[in-house]
Chain A
Amino acid sequence: MSAEILNVDAITKVFESVRAVDGLSFTVRKGEIFGLLGPNGAGKTTAARMLLGIVRPDSGFIRYFIDGQRGEMPLSYELGYLPEDRGLYKDIAVQKTLVYMGILRGMHREDAAQAAASWLEKVGLTDRAKDKLDTLSKGNQQKVQFISAVLHKPAFAILDEPFSGLDPINQEVFVDIIRSLRDGGTTVLLSAHQMNLVERLADRVLLMNQGREVLQGTIPHLKEQAGSGQKVILSVEGGAEASLFGDLPAVVEAEQMGQGRIAFHLRRGESINEFLVAVSSRVKITAVHSEEVSLHEAFVQFVRLGATQHGAEERP
């Protein structure tokens, strides 16, 4: 197991009457991609701002362990931050802005210029280096914004909603960029609500809702904690409705997918064989398809069922 780079202990932040973050605790290990997931308004951005010292927690502790040094707040060049509320100087050339951002993070001008050129080449924007930012497409502006956050090769980077506003092609580009960042030695804390993308990237995940932790651990462990078993899609004769099967003990949720097609979310540990026998006693099955429940589905399922049904379990 890798050493901790960040330890967050019961941080809370209240804005007037809203508990934006409520007793949140987690650790991030060196070299991993840690996902901070949750719906809009879950408290992810407030948590990220507290990790950066932009907002101070009302209670709780944040400790970093970078290069063997323990401290509440690392030096500026050790951190990278891509904020959710983002923007750069639109009337200034891309390269110039990137160099400035690098300097603010403690780089020397020459190093910043070299790193900016290297990153621009990596994302295919070398020929746009001297163009003003507002002449670039939104996707390319996002790339420049991302580079400005990690240009200085930080030890720890917080990326808040890096995929928002991107089309599927650019989302894939960013998935690759984040992986290469991690491979380059940067530990990444990824805050996002596109769970399918985070599921592909993150080593461990913390799911938040209404400022609190909902689930935490590796993806398989999370699905297990959420009580998610298999997802089985059946085609049945006679156009039977999903509501017919709501009483089956193995079924968490039955969802109508079309005429004669129903998706069943099974409870963890339930046997598919026994489930199929139970269904076939009611209708004739014409086709069966099973797949693993996605993180998104597990989260929705977990929130719907209510956290109270799930006891605290050891985190892997």
Chain B
Amino acid sequence: MRRYRIVYEISKWEFFRWFKLKDQILTLVISCGIGFLIWGGIALLGQADRDPVTLFVVNDQMLPLTIPETSRLTLQRASADSQHVLREAVARREIEGLLIIKSEDAADLVVHRRPEWQDELAEYLTQARTQSKIQLLEISREELAEAIRPFSVDVVVESMAGKQAGTAEKIAAGVVIALMLLGVFVSFAYQFVTITGEKQLRVTEQIISAVSPQQWIDGKILGLSAFAFASTITYVLSILVFIGISGFFGELMEIPGEVTSLPIVVALAFLGLTGYLFWNTFFATLAATINDPNTSARGSLVFVPVLATVGAAVLALKSPDSVLTQVLAIFPATAPAALAGRLVLTDVPLWEVFAAFVLMLGAIWFMRTAAGKIFHLGMLMYGKEPSWRELLRWIREA
């Protein structure tokens, strides 16, 4: 019982050493600010886009333009003689634009900067020209409409994998995978700072005389995994706040149902927790063998899991149903990214989720045992690092 109490106390210490509620609240406040800035900015720009624009037209008799009442554009006829004066007025920004129609197929638009309404104007010009051509060809409006009606194709997808992901699902999967990666980075950063820092501060020996190395590393893994998970929750909340603010400005972003369904949320949360535990075990073990993080070549090993996770993430987004992605979704090192992607993008059989979790928990248990041994011997090595041969021997002994 005392053993578990000590592990709990160590994990609590490690968690609260880094978790600061005010920092988490600050993150949410900043997200809120960014949300208001972005969505407010978009709303303001949208408002500017709806401001009325008066456009002077020279030679309008060549191509009679019809502007609907709902358009922000208003045309004002001008004589060919006034061209020079109007050009100067545009340059002085006294008027927004001057349209000089040269023929049915060509016109000059004189503006002081490229306007937002250029495409809209081009559409009206095209319509005017089409109207003019119809009159010349003597084709009725109905006949023309029938001729240019788009061909209708109904897409029916038949796939063994089940559903097909749209853009929204892919974005959601990308966000979920990014959150998993965030946990890996947080775990890496804090395990290295904590463990190599303790070695350099010489805290190690006093603690190791009070608790067993296994208790210590268990506490560290649990505490920092919880911290990584809590950080992820803060970021999830930040994203939700951001989405909520989009609704406040009438531009509510849609969250795909694949991400919000309860079974998926539970599976993703469990995957996040176990994934963070797995990587924290790896990073804690690696950090214990490093004497000085600034000079150790072993620190570059950290990129192996990062690259593996990023690789699995890319593959999961690109081909969620490929055999390789399915294998990576079960393999503990890549499951957090690959399975997370698959859960959002495609239908995943229950056995696969179950197998991934069982393998993950087994790998965590094996690694923590080996980590305890390496941690014990590595943490007391000052000034030098254990060789690979020594590390392998310690793992065998564990």
A54 and B208 within 8 A (CB): yes
Q: Cα distance A75–B129 when bound, in Å?
A: 95
**A64 at the binding interface (Cβ < 8 Å):** no
User: Which of chain A's residues 129-148 have a Cβ closer than 8 Å to chain B?
Assistant: 145, 148
Residue-wise, chain A 42-86 has the 8 Å CB interface mask toward B (1 for contact) of 000000010011110000000000000000000010010111011
Residue-wise, chain A 68-112 has the 8 Å CB interface mask toward B (1 for contact) of 000000001001011101111110100000001101111000000
Q: Cα distance A52–B207 when bound, in Å?
A: 12
B203 and A81 within 8 A (CB): no
Q: Cα distance A86–B10 when bound, in Å?
A: 19
Known A-B contacts A54-B380, A88-B201, A100-B13; the reply to A83 vs B209 at CB < 8 A is yes
**A262 at the binding interface (Cβ < 8 Å):** no
Known A-B contacts A85-B382, A104-B6; the reply to A148 vs B206 at CB < 8 A is yes
B203 and A87 within 8 A (CB): yes
B206 and A149 within 8 A (CB): yes
Residue of A nearest to B211 (CB): A104
Q: Cα distance A85–B13 when bound, in Å?
A: 22
Q: Cα distance A109–B9 when bound, in Å?
A: 10
Min C-beta distance of A130 to chain B, whole Å: 16
Residue of B nearest to A104 (CB): B210
Please give the number of chain B residues whose Cβ is less than 8 angstroms from any Cβ of chain A in the complex: 19
A81 and B2 within 8 A (CB): no
Q: Cα distance A49–B6 when bound, in Å?
A: 22
**B123 at the binding interface (Cβ < 8 Å):** no
A81 and B201 within 8 A (CB): no
A86 and B210 within 8 A (CB): no
Chain B neighbourhood of A103, CB < 8 A: 6, 9
Q: Cα distance A81–B380 when bound, in Å?
A: 15
**B17 at the binding interface (Cβ < 8 Å):** yes
A54 and B203 within 8 A (CB): no
Chain B neighbourhood of A79, CB < 8 A: 209
**B205 at the binding interface (Cβ < 8 Å):** yes
Min C-beta distance of B194 to chain A, whole Å: 10
Chain B neighbourhood of A105, CB < 8 A: 210
Q: Cα distance A53–B211 when bound, in Å?
A: 11
User: Which of chain B's residues 376-390 have a Cβ closer than 8 Å to chain A?
Assistant: 380, 382
Min C-beta distance of A166 to chain B, whole Å: 17
Q: Cα distance A81–B210 when bound, in Å?
A: 8
Min C-beta distance of B372 to chain A, whole Å: 14
A86 and B6 within 8 A (CB): no
A54 and B17 within 8 A (CB): no
B210 and A83 within 8 A (CB): no
Residue from B2, B206, B208, B382 in contact with A86 in the complex, judged by beta carbons closer than 8 Å: B206
Chain A neighbourhood of B205, CB < 8 A: 49, 54, 81, 83, 85-86
Residue from B6, B203, B211, B382 in contact with A89 in the complex, judged by beta carbons closer than 8 Å: B203
User: Which of chain B's residues 201-230 have a Cβ closer than 8 Å to chain A?
Assistant: 201-211
Chain B neighbourhood of A85, CB < 8 A: 202, 204-205, 382
A88 and B208 within 8 A (CB): no
Chain B neighbourhood of A52, CB < 8 A: 209
Residue-wise, chain B 96-126 has the 8 Å CB interface mask toward A (1 for contact) of 0000000000000000000000000000000
Chain B neighbourhood of A106, CB < 8 A: 2
Residue from B17, B210, B382 in contact with A101 in the complex, judged by beta carbons closer than 8 Å: B210
Chain A neighbourhood of B211, CB < 8 A: 76, 104
A76 and B210 within 8 A (CB): yes
Min C-beta distance of A88 to chain B, whole Å: 6
A88 and B203 within 8 A (CB): yes
Residue of A nearest to B210 (CB): A104
Residue from A82, A89, A104, A148 in contact with B9 in the complex, judged by beta carbons closer than 8 Å: A104
Chain B neighbourhood of A89, CB < 8 A: 17, 201, 203
Chain B neighbourhood of A81, CB < 8 A: 205-206, 209-210
Chain A neighbourhood of B2, CB < 8 A: 106
Residue of B nearest to A76 (CB): B210
Chain B neighbourhood of A148, CB < 8 A: 206
Residue of A nearest to B206 (CB): A83
Min C-beta distance of B328 to chain A, whole Å: 39
Residue of A nearest to B213 (CB): A54
Using CB atoms and an 8 Å cutoff, list the residues of chain A in contact with chain B.
Answer: 49, 52-55, 76, 79, 81-83, 85-90, 92, 100-101, 103-106, 145, 148-149
Sample of 18 more A-B contacts, CB < 8 Å, known A54-B380, A85-B382, A103-B9: A52-B209, A54-B209, A55-B380, A76-B211, A81-B206, A81-B209, A83-B206, A83-B209, A85-B202, A87-B202, A89-B201, A90-B201, A101-B210, A103-B6, A104-B207, A104-B210, A105-B210, A106-B2
Using CB atoms and an 8 Å cutoff, list the residues of chain B in contact with chain A.
Answer: 2, 6, 9-10, 13, 17, 201-211, 380, 382
Closest 3 CB pairs of A and B: A87-B202, A83-B205, A87-B201
10 contacts between A and B (CB under 8 A): A54-B205, A76-B210, A79-B209, A83-B205, A85-B382, A88-B201, A89-B201, A101-B210, A104-B10, A104-B210
